[in-house]
Amino acid sequence: MSQKRIAIFGSTGSIGTQALEVIAANPNIFSVEVLTAQTNDELLVQQAFKFKPNVVVIGDERKYTKVKDALAGTDVKVFAGEKALEEVAALDIYDLMLAAIVGYAGLKPTLEALKNGKPVALANKETLVVAGDIVMQTAMEKRVPVIPVDSEHSAIFQCLVGETRNRIEKVILTASGGPFRGKKPNFLVNVKRDHALQHPNWTMGAKITIDSATLMNKGLEMIEAKWLFNLKPEQIQVVIHPQSIIHSMVQFEDGSIKAQMGVPDMKLPIQYAMAFPQRLPNDFPRLNFRNMNTLSFEEPDVKTFRNLGLAIEALGKGGNMPCILNAANEIAVYAFLRNRIGFLDMTEVVEQTMTKISHIEAPTLEEYFESDGEARSFAASLIQM
Ligand code: NAD
Ligand code: MG
């Protein structure tokens, strides 16, 4: 069997580095063709020496010479800049893209891969939040799969294997509740970035960790689920499950519910997506039911964690509203990470931006780009005040 050639977009991040661990453990099954990073040139170069890709892309063009010089004497081709990400995504040198860039920046390269008939293992949920209809339409036209990496969506995807003819009644997305579960606004108002960056169950990149603390992450995941599994908003339910053992569930028309479980470890959904439809043996920690005394569930507190409510509103309105929500949220999260605004201010920024930017029911791709730009400028103007 020939190796599956993987292109990792965002190889220096939390998902990217874990994907490389999976690849290193399965050298006969996977090879690395493309690695990309935004700013961490040192790690990118180190990864290139170890995995010998065909191409690397450094997003930050000021670092091009540094990367090029470091890789002189190897066969690795070096490119730089945002446009290069799209150009490399369009090359016919790989079999599967792992879309592991964070945020809106992941949209264009992912779309380019799909346009060129490349299957995508999708970690970058923002891609579907921003332009889910266009992304899924492109995948359908090109007959290529979008395989979820996000643990909840991987769980649902795994529950759906063998169920192609059976209608989904609803999906139940589990959420840990993050580090501030049970807290009220009078506590949240004083939360600082370092505290919000401590997630109880998962170690992830900074942006998704903050999104998990505000529950925006679960809202983005509801929108992601809508597009991946072709669901109506009312078919998507969120339940808080603090132990993160059940990664999500599907309820079918006969009332039967399937769940996918495991210890919280992103390497499993990453490996599943990269090897799909095969399951690969591994030495990841196993779940032991005898050591587990409680699996608990509760309703999410949308009154306190208003970001989830805003995402549900955007999901219901559809069109460019999720794109607006996402853009404002990215601006708000990065401002919070730079200690420019408080924890609860993030919600204000998102809410006001959603009120301000005009709703378009069925946007073109260009209109999505414009909405993103307008929402970002408006959100940023709120923060500078
Ligand atoms: P991260 O911040 O750790 O890594 C992000 C990667 O994207 C890095 O390689 C970085 O160089 C690159 N990048 C950042 N900005 C970029 C830009 N403007 N242009 C090009 N590349 C850029 O993030 P992460 O936690 O690995 O998350 C990646 C994606 O996967 C996110 O969309 C996140 O929501 C999703 N996801 C992550 C996890 C997790 O456990 N980390 C779980 C589920 C889903
Ligand atoms: Mg998730």
Domain extents for the chain? 4-148, 150-264+284-303, 318-385
Write down the pLDDT at residue 382.
97
**377 CA to middle of ligand 1, Å?**
22
pLDDT digits (tens, 9 = 90+) for 167-181: 999 999 999 999 999
| Predicted local distance difference test score (pLDDT) of residue 1 | 65
Ligand 1 atom at minimal distance to the Cα of residue 12: 9
pLDDT at 18 exceeding the cut of 80: yes
Neighbour-count burial of 283, counting CB atoms closer than 10 A to its CB (0-12 exposed, 13-18 middle, 19+ buried) = exposed
CA of 11 to the centre of ligand 1 (A): 9
Banded pLDDT at 200 (limits 50, 70, 90): confident
Q: Is a pLDDT exceeding 90 seen at residue 203?
A: no
* CA 13 – ligand 1 centroid, Å: 5
Ligand 1 site, residue 121, Cβ cutoff 6 A: no
- Does the pLDDT of residue 28 top 90, yes or no? yes
- Residue 37 Cα, ligand 1 centroid: separation in angstroms? 10
Q: Identify the pLDDT of residue 216.
A: 98
**Ligand 1 atom 23, closest CA:** 205
pLDDT score of 385: 57
Give the tokens for residue 96. 């599967």
Q: Is 329 in the pocket of ligand 1 (CB under 6 A)?
A: no
Class of domain 318-385: mainly alpha
Q: What is the pLDDT of residues 311-325, one digit of tens each?
A: 999 999 999 999 999
The predicted model gives 213-224 an average pLDDT of 98
CATH architecture group of domain 4-148: 3-Layer(aba) Sandwich (3.40)
Tokens describing residue 161: 């294997």
Instruction: Give pTM, 2 decimals.
Output: 0.98
